[in-house]
Chain A
């Protein structure tokens, strides 16, 4: 689960990870009030959306007077911000972070994440802050410092020094940096983060280090033990259909194409999207109803996809294992009765109780096309939309 920069910085403060003074603003008046509380200029006005590249998209501006704060806040609030991460449709800006400008001596990069291969927490740091870290890693890998922390031992003093000296920090900033990193590690573990990224981390002209930006992602599987963090979820940043699907524990992702699909199991669902593409059409979604879906879940999966106007045909691919084909078929029939099916639907079912499932569909007299195997299904669905 992603959160906004201002929320991440509020959490950082609680863990004594230094950040600039500032506050969130939902209106121009609130932005002005925060700016006046900061007691000086320049002030930075930053759009708050869950996507990177906000600066390049025109969502981060520097104001040197109260008039400018007012102008910039009214410009940015309500704008549709397009960045390389939002897609061409962009994201509507509904809140700002207003914070004190800093005297930047150096921009650095610092992140913590779980390393899959070594099952450890890896700290990544670089002197090349403010840049795309993947680009730095690709072009100048020697400029990236990587330190693996044993989760059973926790972070050690020598590891803090390894990162601090690696960043070539001045002696006066070293102690503060060690505290910052140690606190950041504590924050990461205590809140089940999957990623914490500060880009840039800045060194100021008076040898302070602080987080100028903050990106935090929490492990969704661990949210059950962090009820306090659940309140940080922002539904405005999520697709309404995806929110609806999550109410029924359906794994659903809305995509651009016009062929809807319903599949059981994440791997098979991805492979089904690929098959649609291979056949010359484009998938409208990813929908995994799960290994043990109920008829009710299946019915809701159908409803959500059929409600989506861009969907021109639907491919259903079920390999019955735990999810029996008869249970699935009953969900399809219920959905068809309630919602009505007015687009071509191709059904491919295999596995546990497949004959019973086919009989339920046949007896219901629905207008469905059945497919004998995956290749047949792909061909039929492509023909339906092309």
Chain B
């Protein structure tokens, strides 16, 4: 098993005819993902390679049975695209788009609370179950099937972690980037809970960063609910306060959101802490196979 997606997941791509949408849709297809439809308003009836394009998500779902959506639309249309997918009954919505206004996401999040679906992102690399399904923009070749669950707020930083795991022989069950925005869909706790209940996942790597308090809350959840070993890493220990470090959510406000507080929460709650990214593979090996 894996979490949220598997080899049978049928995926539609919103914004499939754009530069990024078509490039990454092809990347997913090449990896083996079942991309069954694309959606671009006004381009219904066309095809992107062999993928049929529809005007609305509802049409695409009705005609192809897609249950997941991958979103690449520009930021001003991001909130609308997510709500359209949710309203059409899509179960899993993966939003890559970076730069959606925070008040748009605040509305979306409250709208989604009335729907039965899961949002991953926005501003994230997506989700991958190695050798089965990739819904996102990560390089597939660095992944390897296995038993480590990976969850992260970042993109390339996750690739670095995965690469070290793979090189040391530790494959992954599922890797999820939950995104670098302050208001996002799926959070650490949702994924930790899913990993705990997934037979294939035996251990977990959690990659956080400065800003907000999601890591602190996750740390307490881990102590109370998880039996599987967790290695934690926090990026941004040297970041200055009050500055947005690339990600909209990576900002220390006053005394909240510091890396030091997150590391302390990890240590206090039995998480194996990695303080040097260059060593994360080795630290996982020690923690997971002792």
- Chain A positions near chain B (C-beta within 8 angstroms): 85, 114, 116-117, 119-121, 134, 138, 150-152, 189, 192, 194, 219-222, 224-225, 251, 253, 255, 263-278, 282-283, 286, 288, 291-292, 319-322, 350-352, 373-375, 377-378
Contact = CB atoms under 8 A, between A and B. Distances in A.
B111 A321 contact: no
Interface string B200-218: 0000000101101110010
A370 to B, nearest CB: 15
Given A219-B102, A268-B160, A375-B279, A352 B235 contact: no
| Residue with the greatest number of chain B CB neighbours at <10 A, chosen from A121, A274, A291 | A274
B242 interface: yes
B101 A269 contact: no
Given A266-B247, A267-B155, A270-B235, A192 B103 contact: yes
Contact of A286 (B109, B214, B242, B246): B246
B237 interface: yes
A134 B257 CA distance: 13
Task: Say what secondary structure dominates the interface of chain A.
Answer: mixed
A114 B183 contact: yes
A251 B242 CA distance: 15
B209 A270 contact: yes
20 contacts: A116-B182, A134-B255, A189-B103, A219-B103, A221-B75, A225-B76, A265-B157, A267-B152, A267-B157, A268-B235, A271-B157, A273-B238, A276-B238, A282-B238, A286-B246, A288-B246, A321-B156, A373-B278, A374-B277, A377-B278
A265 B103 contact: no
A372 B214 CA distance: 33
B245 A319 contact: no
B245 A266 contact: yes
B277 A274 contact: yes
Interface string B98-129: 01111111110111000000000000010000
A269 B239 CA distance: 10
Nearest to B246: A266
A272 B276 CA distance: 9
B288 interface: no
A220 B152 CA distance: 24
B45 interface: no
B2 to A, nearest CB: 21
Interface in B130-176: 137-139, 142, 152-160, 163
B103 A114 contact: yes
A151 B110 contact: yes
B207 to A, nearest CB: 7
Contacts of A282: 238
Interface residues of B, number: 64
B204 to A, nearest CB: 18
B237 A151 contact: no
A120 B107 CA distance: 8
B137 A291 contact: yes
B68 to A, nearest CB: 21
Interface string B69-99: 0000001100000000000000000000001
Given A253-B240, A267-B154, A121 B75 contact: no
Contacts of A291: 137, 155-156
Contacts of A292: 20
Contacts of B102: 114, 192, 194, 219, 221-222
B243 interface: yes
A270 B239 contact: yes
Given A192-B103, A267-B247, 8 more contacts: A138-B255, A192-B102, A219-B103, A220-B248, A265-B246, A266-B245, A321-B125, A322-B24
B236 A274 contact: yes
B254 interface: yes
A263 B236 CA distance: 14
A271 B280 CA distance: 12
A114 B255 CA distance: 17
Contacts of A116: 182-183, 212-214, 249
